[in-house]
Structure 1
Amino acid sequence: MLALWDTKGSEVVKKLAAERRNTGGGASGLALTVVAIVDDARIREVEEAATIAASAHPCRLLVISRGPVSGPDPETANAKDRLDAEIIVGGRLGPCEAVIMRMHGRLALHAESIVMPLLAPDVPVVTWWHGPPPERLAFDPLGVVAERRVTDISQCADPAASLMQRAVDYAPGDTDLAWTRLTGWRALLASALDTGSTEVRDAMVTGSVQDPGTALLRGWLTSRLGIGTRLAEAPALTAVELELADGSHIGVRTLGDGTALVSRTGVGDRILPLIKRRLGDDLAEELRRLDPDQPYGWALQAATGIADLNDRPAVRTHVWQDPALVGVRR
């Protein structure tokens, strides 16, 4: 690991190239660049997740931690522009090479000027916000440069309102880890539905109205089945019940030990895995496909009632916003 304190972007580029030469590394083996935006206290979580994901998708990880931006607030008025960086090639991150950058002062508003020269050549870019994302992803230029944009609204103060905002702001290429965490549920339900041709006439999900995963699972069922999906209020997502046109029932219910009970009228009950995965496994799934996630768009559309999400342009244009002036009358 090489540490650079109070440095410049050009120096980071030179030192990364030197470290790669010293370790025999080459950008030709990289599948993509992951740009992770995170608070300084949570950088280790990003490193651990990226190490897991990189075992399937060798990548260059660019971690951006933004400090307070200087502005009219007395606490930030004297914030100095400064860039600190750590370069890690090999070692604890395995096949992932990383540059961890802490940007202070107004330099944080222009992170793209530091990041762009560090992107691995000729590979896709994925931007991941490990924390509350901006209200509009286009406010962050690091989201504009990416083919895929990964958010996690479960970390927002009001996840239900944030889900609606993600639909308002949606562009093909967006996805959210609340959706990724539903992969096990969707696989179990799809398998149960594929065993028969009888159409579903009623669907109910047991979960919380504040849980974005519950809302997205209801949206997915609605978009797939073409019927409204009812909600049975509970503290967390625990069950799905489907009533078929022939009067039979399909049920999936969590057992609380990493398994789920899958039942169907006339068929013996089965206990199947429904494991809560590590953050790195969820990230690896999102890195597997870099084209727009249309099922997510359909589920988000059904969950929020905002139409034609997958028909929107996939290209975003940066919208300048100075955090120091937000809420300040001019």
Structure 2
Amino acid sequence: MIGLWDTTGNEVVKALAAERRSAGGVASGMALTLIVVADERQVREAEAAATIAAAAHPCRLLVVVRSDVDRDRDRLDAEIVVGGRLGPCEAVVMRMYGRLALHAESVVMPLLVPDVPVVTWWHGEPPEEIATDFLGVVADRRITDSAQAANPIEALRLRAADYAPGDTDLAWTRITLWRTLVAGAFDTVNAEITEATVVAPTSDPTAALMCGWLSARLGIIPKWEQSDHFQRMRSVELCTASGDHLLLTREDSVATFQRTGQAERQLPLVRRPLGEELAEELRRLDPDQIYAEALGAMAGTPGLQARPDRRVHVWKDPATAQRAEAGITSHATTSETGRPDLPQGGVV
């Protein structure tokens, strides 16, 4: 590991190149660049999850920790690890202070691996608008986690309002196994589904997306029985036009499947580590149309998958609000940005 304290972006690029040479090309053939945005309290958790994901998807890992943006003096501290504690990848952990934290792209852009996709993951409360964060605009895929927000359901509605193809949320990833089991139940069902009921806590974003998915797939409006007796989604029940009932109930890491006239079956339904959830999202780098349909149905915003596949960077300076409170006016600037290999204003 190389530690650079109070350094510059240029020095980080040089140190990474030197460490790659000394390591003998430990991480060659990288499939993508993974940008992780986290605060200091969650950086270790984010590193652990990214290490698991990088083991399945060789990548250059760029961890951006923004701190103390009001500091008068800018500062950049960086750790460079190649084939070390963060797994078989090239990793740069950057802690940015002062105004530099608002311009993280000035350090990150030269570190992107040429000619491979870029994925940005926010480990923390997701941004209200991804367009206000350059690290999101430059990415081919953008991963948020609405469960980290103070109001997860409202955070999902913001994701729908701000959606562009390439966006996804880890709340959606967490119901992959649920969706697999529910879809598998239709292998022996010929009758039309007329009702659906989801039992889950009031603020569970996975339940909200499950309702959206059922609505988009089945053309019905599921009933959400909100119960705070459980910490996470408890059950999904489907009723058919023939009078049959299908019920999938989770207890710890086991799901019980019940169907009218058949014996109960026990199925595995474990809660996966954060790193495995992240690794699943890195398996596909094309837009997730099924997620878009489910999110749109949940938020009442149809047609998300038909939106333009581009994002425009909108610069919003946090100091603007402070000046407004002080009675000083300023002009917001809007600029369209592109990847380093595209001309300014290119489609990203």
TM normalised by structure 1 equals 0.95
Give the letter aligned to residue 33 of structure 2. Answer: T
Quick one: which of 137, 141, 153 aligns to 2:134? Answer: 141
Quick one: which of 77, 102, 121 aligns to 2:114? Answer: 121
Other structure's SS at 1:157 match? coil
Give the letter aligned to residue 153 of structure 2. Answer: A
Tell me the alpha carbon deviations over residues 104-132 of structure 1, each in whole angstroms, 9 at most, x when there is no partner: 11011111111011011111000000001
CA contact (8 A) 1:209 1:215 kept: no
CA distance in 2, matches of 1:14, 1:218: 50
Give the letter aligned to residue 325 of structure 1. Answer: T
CA distance in 1, matches of 2:321, 2:28: 42
1:221 paired with 2:214, answer yes
Aligned partner of 1:308 in structure 2 is: 303
Aligned partner of 1:239 in structure 2 is: 235
1:11 paired with 2:7, answer no
CA contact (8 A) 2:60 2:89 kept: yes
CA distance in 2, matches of 1:202, 1:97: 50
- Give the deviation of 1:28 after TM superposition: 4.2
Aligned partner of 2:245 in structure 1 is: 249
List aligned pairs for 1:262-273, cutoff 5 A. 262-273=257-268
Other structure's SS at 2:182 match? helix
List aligned pairs for 1:31-46, cutoff 5 A. 31-46=31-46
Aligned residues: 322
CA distance in 2, matches of 1:195, 1:84: 58
- Give the deviation of 1:137 after TM superposition: 0.3
Tell me the alpha carbon deviations over residues 266-318 of structure 1, each in whole angstroms, 9 at most, x when there is no partner: 22211111100000000000000000011110110111101211111121111
CA distance in 1, matches of 2:84, 2:35: 20
CA contact (8 A) 1:69 1:323 kept: no
Relative to structure 1, the CA distance from residue 283 to residue 171 in structure 2 (aligned partners, 3 Å threshold; closer, same or farther) is same
CA contact (8 A) 1:170 1:309 kept: yes
Other structure's SS at 2:69 match? coil
CA distance in 2, matches of 1:152, 1:199: 34
Other structure's SS at 1:326 match? helix
CA contact (8 A) 1:27 1:121 kept: no
- Give the deviation of 1:26 after TM superposition: 6.3
Aligned partner of 1:20 in structure 2 is: 20
Aligned partner of 1:193 in structure 2 is: 186
- Give the deviation of 1:199 after TM superposition: 1.3
Q: Which has the higher contact order (CA 8 A, sep 6+)?
A: 1
Aligned partner of 2:198 in structure 1 is: 205
CA distance in 1, matches of 2:175, 2:29: 31
CA distance in 1, matches of 2:140, 2:199: 34
- Give the deviation of 1:97 after TM superposition: 1.6
CA distance in 1, matches of 2:187, 2:49: 33
- Give the deviation of 1:211 after TM superposition: 1.3
TM normalised by structure 2 equals 0.90
- Give the deviation of 1:264 after TM superposition: 1.2
CA contact (8 A) 1:69 1:324 kept: no
CA contact (8 A) 2:27 2:89 kept: no
CA distance in 1, matches of 2:117, 2:27: 13
CA contact (8 A) 1:132 1:156 kept: yes
CA distance in 2, matches of 1:200, 1:88: 53
Aligned partner of 2:339 in structure 1 is: none
1:103 paired with 2:99, answer no
1:279 paired with 2:265, answer no
CA distance in 2, matches of 1:320, 1:95: 35
CA contact (8 A) 1:27 1:120 kept: no
CA distance in 2, matches of 1:199, 1:328: 59
CA distance in 2, matches of 1:212, 1:185: 14
1:181 paired with 2:195, answer no
Tell me the alpha carbon deviations over residues 196-247 of structure 1, each in whole angstroms, 9 at most, x when there is no partner: 2211011110112321111100000011111110111212310011001111
Aligned partner of 2:337 in structure 1 is: none
Relative to structure 1, the CA distance from residue 15 to residue 314 in structure 2 (aligned partners, 3 Å threshold; closer, same or farther) is same
CA distance in 1, matches of 2:223, 2:103: 45
CA distance in 2, matches of 1:27, 1:188: 37
Other structure's SS at 1:92 match? coil
Relative to structure 1, the CA distance from residue 16 to residue 184 in structure 2 (aligned partners, 3 Å threshold; closer, same or farther) is same
Other structure's SS at 1:128 match? strand
Aligned partner of 2:345 in structure 1 is: none
CA contact (8 A) 1:50 1:96 kept: no
Give the letter aligned to residue 249 of structure 2. Answer: R
